[in-house]
Amino acid sequence: MRTGHGPPACHYVTQAARQVPPDFAWLSLRERETLLGLRLAKRRADWLLGRWTAKRAVASRFPPPAAPTPLASIEILATEDGAPEVFFGAVRAAYSISISHRDARAVCALVDGGRDPALTIGCDLERIEPRDTTFVEDFFADEERALVQRCGAGVRECAVALVWSAKESALKLLRTGLRADTRSVVVTHVNFGRLDDWERFEIDCVEAGRTLPGWWRTLGDLVLTVVTAQPGAPPHGLVDAGAPVPWAEASGGPRRATPSGADLRPPEAGR
Give 56's DSSP letter. Answer: H
Give residue 119's identity as a one-letter amino acid code. Answer: L
Could you give the count of Cα atoms lying within 13 Å of 126 in the half-sphere of its Cβ? Answer: 24
Spatial neighbors of 184 by CB under 8 A, at least 6 apart, are 205, 206, 207
pTM: 0.83
Express each pLDDT in 205-244 by its tens digit.
988 789 999 999 999 999 999 999 989 999 999 864 444 4
Is residue 227 within 8 Å of residue 235, measured between CB atoms? no
Picking from 173, 184, 147, the residue whose alpha carbon sits closest to that of residue 162 is: 147
Give 19's DSSP letter. Answer: G
Express each pLDDT in 152-179 by its tens digit.
877 999 999 999 999 999 999 998 877 7
Is residue 224 within 8 Å of residue 107, measured between CB atoms? yes
State residue 261's pLDDT score: 28
Buried b (16+ CB within 10 A) or exposed e, 204-242: bbeeeeeebbbbbbbeeebbbbbbbbbebeebeebbeee
**Phi/psi at 225 (nearest 5 deg)?**
-125, 145
State residue 245's pLDDT score: 44
Tell me: pLDDT of 30 over 60.
yes
Spatial neighbors of 141 by CB under 8 A, at least 6 apart, are 183, 186
Express each pLDDT in 177-208 by its tens digit.
777 788 999 999 998 877 789 999 999 998 87
Rounded mean pLDDT of the chain?
Answer: 82
Is residue 99 within 8 Å of residue 84, measured between CB atoms? yes
State residue 216's pLDDT score: 97
Starting at the earlier edge strand, list the strands of the sheet with 84-88.
74-78, 84-88, 91-92
Where does 206-250 show beta strands of DSSP type E? Answer: 210-219, 222-228, 236-237
Domains within the chain, CATH numbers bracketed = 1-119 (3.90.470.20), 120-233 (3.90.470.20)
Q: How far apart are the C-alpha atoms of 101 and 117, rounded to whole Å?
A: 24
Give 73's DSSP letter. Answer: G
**Phi/psi at 217 (nearest 5 deg)?**
-160, 165
State residue 249's pLDDT score: 34
